[in-house]
């Protein structure tokens, strides 16, 4: 059997007709059987989110018109032989228009179900466009609805995939790929066992691609974006940031978790578990190379890169009952779990616990990061403090705790800004600290120069 490759193209790679043509050129240079996973066209998902949340029909229609203009602008550059794509796009737009015009549901379960269905139209439309452009170069291309093959639970907005069931449904695709048929499908979306559309959370297209790579036992997953790989830090902050040719799974997972936008944090788990190499490259400039993520890189430096994650919230829980008591942490995390709150960093003292929460990632389905009913439960046994407007900075490398000069450099780079939290020791691959948004870029520049 020929080794399979899965290629994922993000929103910027799907931004316009020229961008999609560049993606098709990338695919045509690959001799292996290929599955393509696409995100929604740039700007579409944000508009769909707004449609799902807006109470005003006039506003929903305005946003819908903007989405149709984006898709039609791309479709106009299709060859004349692609009339069927225009028909399918029109059908999808009509379905979306009808859904947006319908009375808003009142039940929370119906609201979240409707939201996921609305959001799915971004990828469903972009995949039609990609398929049409690819078919203009190769007749052997099939589009597959991800909702028919990616099985999830019923937690709308941030569904959990069932990889075993997904593997079973992908078996027929392996045969098509081995016969030389290209497959196009959607990232970000799936369906539960009842057939309801679900989404994997914002940025979940990478996750979808990794799941499909695992389900198909692919040799490599290629993530195509608007940068030539992973850098030592964000090049928009530090002009001297350098591209990394190769990094380990562990380093990549840390970078993705702590804010490197080129990889979705969840996407690496299926790749790591199945030993699938991950390549990150520039879809418009593949000749620039990129970063290969592998189990065993050729080098393991103490410091590999810096990452940042903005929009962090610091929740501090104080209670004298913690002192020499048992079960307090369990009680706290039980409350957080019941509200599906994802905690990142944790520090404790005798009577206090400080937790960081990601405002962008913890709640991907439009609900409040810290629901008031949850806060009321916490206030029954503790006092709470909430700080916002914070940035998490992570130093990523190998055996960081074995080097005594790293922590002093971090504090020196941060001065005179206060460090609100610092965490080291739980992982050999990171040292993390929390600072105010206002000073984060200055600190990253200082630290990048020192390390």
> What CATH number has the domain spanning 304-450?
3.30.2130.10
pLDDT in tens, 161-190: 999 999 999 999 999 999 999 999 999 999
pLDDT in tens, 431-450: 999 999 999 999 999 999 98
SS3 181: coil
Q: Which long-range contacts (CB under 8 A, 24 or more apart) does 409-416 make?
A: 409/447, 409/450, 409/451, 410/447, 412/446, 412/450, 413/443, 413/446, 413/447, 413/450, 414/439, 414/443, 414/446
Quick one: average pLDDT of 59-73? 96
Percent of the chain with pLDDT over 70: 97
- For residue 81, the model assigns a pLDDT of 67
Most confident of 145-149, 201-205, 286-290: 145-149
Q: CA 432, CA 451: separation in Å to the nearest integer?
A: 15
- For residue 305, the model assigns a pLDDT of 93
| Parts of the chain belonging to CATH 3.40.1160.10 | 5-297
The answer to whether the annotation marks 262 as part of a ligand binding site is yes
What CA dihedral angle connects 212, 215, 221 and 222, to 10 degrees? -20
- For residue 412, the model assigns a pLDDT of 87
The answer to whether the annotation marks 8 as part of a ligand binding site is yes
- Tell me the whole-structure pTM to 2 decimals: 0.83
Q: With bands split at pLDDT 50, 70 and 90, how would you rate the model's confidence at 364?
A: very low
Q: CA 100, CA 21: separation in Å to the nearest integer?
A: 31
The answer to whether the annotation marks 231 as part of a ligand binding site is yes
SS3 373: helix
CA nearest 218: which of 276, 142, 143?
A: 276
The answer to whether 324 and 351 have CB atoms below 8 angstroms apart is: no
Query: Exposure pattern of 58-73 as b/e (b: 16+ CB <10 Å)?
Result: eebeebbeebbebbee
The answer to whether the annotation marks 347 as part of a ligand binding site is no
- For residue 321, the model assigns a pLDDT of 81
The answer to whether the annotation marks 123 as part of a ligand binding site is yes
Q: Are strands 5-9 and 430-436 parallel, antiparallel or unpaired?
A: unpaired
- For residue 399, the model assigns a pLDDT of 87
Average pLDDT, the chain: 91
> Of 3.40.1280.10, 3.10.20.740, 3.40.50.300, 3.40.1160.10, which CATH number belongs to 5-297?
3.40.1160.10
pLDDT higher at 364 or 163: 163
| Parts of the chain belonging to CATH 3.30.2130.10 | 304-450
The answer to whether the annotation marks 339 as part of a ligand binding site is no
Quick one: average pLDDT of 144-166? 97
Residue recorded with tokens 């592998």: 294
Q: Are strands 243-244 and 220-225 parallel, antiparallel or unpaired?
A: unpaired
pLDDT in tens, 30-41: 888 999 999 999
Quick one: average pLDDT of 255-280? 85
Q: CA 117, CA 98: separation in Å to the nearest integer?
A: 12
The answer to whether the annotation marks 133 as part of a ligand binding site is no
The answer to whether the annotation marks 45 as part of a ligand binding site is yes
Cis peptide before 291 (omega within 30 of 0): no
The answer to whether 152 and 190 have CB atoms below 8 angstroms apart is: yes
The answer to whether 258 and 394 have CB atoms below 8 angstroms apart is: yes
What CA dihedral angle connects 224, 229, 235 and 240, to 10 degrees? -150
The answer to whether the annotation marks 122 as part of a ligand binding site is no
Quick one: average pLDDT of 228-247? 93
The answer to whether the annotation marks 236 as part of a ligand binding site is yes
């Amino acid at each position: 059997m020929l080794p399979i490759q899965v290629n994922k193209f993000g929103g910027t790679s799907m931004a316009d007709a020229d961008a999609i043509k560049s993606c098709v050129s990338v695919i045509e240079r690959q001799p292996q059987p290929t599955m393509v996973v696409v995100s929604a066209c740039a700007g579409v998902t944000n508009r769909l989110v707004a449609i799902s949340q807006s109470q005003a029909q006039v506003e929903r229609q305005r946003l819908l018109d903007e989405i149709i203009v984006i898709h039609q602008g791309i479709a106009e550059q299709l060859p004349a032989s692609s009339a069927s794509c225009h028909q399918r796009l029109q059908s999808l737009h009509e379905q979306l228009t009808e859904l947006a015009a319908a009375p808003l549901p009142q039940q929370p379960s119906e609201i979240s179900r409707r939201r996921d269905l609305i959001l799915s139209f971004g990828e469903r439309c972009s995949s039609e466009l990609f398929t049409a452009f690819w078919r203009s170069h190769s007749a052997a291309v099939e589009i597959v609805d991800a909702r028919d093959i990616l099985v999830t639970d019923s937690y709308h907005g941030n569904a959990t995939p069932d990889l075993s069931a997904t593997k079973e449904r992908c078996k027929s695709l392996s045969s098509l790929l081995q016969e030389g048929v290209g497959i196009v499908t959607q990232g970000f979306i799936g369906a539960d066992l009842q057939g309801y559309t679900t989404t994997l959370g914002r940025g979940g297209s990478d996750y979808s691609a990794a799941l499909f790579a695992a389900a198909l036992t692919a040799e490599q997953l290629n993530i195509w974006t608007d940068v030539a790989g992973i850098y030592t830090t964000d090049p928009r902050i530090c002009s001297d940031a350098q591209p990394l040719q190769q990094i380990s799974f562990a380093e990549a997972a840390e970078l993705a978790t702590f804010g490197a936008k080129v990889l979705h944090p969840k996407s690496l788990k299926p790749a790591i578990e199945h030993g699938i190499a991950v390549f990150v490259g520039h879809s418009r400039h593949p000749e620039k190379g990129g970063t290969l993520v592998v189990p065993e890189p050729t080098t393991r430096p103490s410091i590999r890169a810096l990452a940042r994650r903005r929009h962090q919230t610091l929740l501090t829980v104080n209670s004298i009952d913690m002192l020499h008591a048992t079960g307090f942490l369990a009680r706290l995390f039980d409350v957080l779990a019941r509200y599906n709150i994802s905690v990142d960093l944790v520090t404790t003292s005798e009577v206090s616990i400080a937790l960081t929460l990601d405002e962008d990632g913890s709640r991907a389905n439009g609900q409040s990061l810290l629901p008031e009913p949850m806060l009321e439960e916490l206030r029954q046994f503790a006092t709470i403090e909430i700080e916002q407007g914070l940035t998490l900075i992570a130093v990523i490398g190998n055996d960081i705790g074995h080097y005594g000069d790293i922590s002093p450099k971090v504090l020196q780079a941060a001065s005179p800004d206060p460090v609100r939290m610092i965490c080291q020791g739980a992982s050999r691959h990171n040292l993390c600290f929390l600072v105010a948004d206002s000073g984060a870029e200055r600190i990253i520049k200082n630290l990048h120069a020192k390390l």
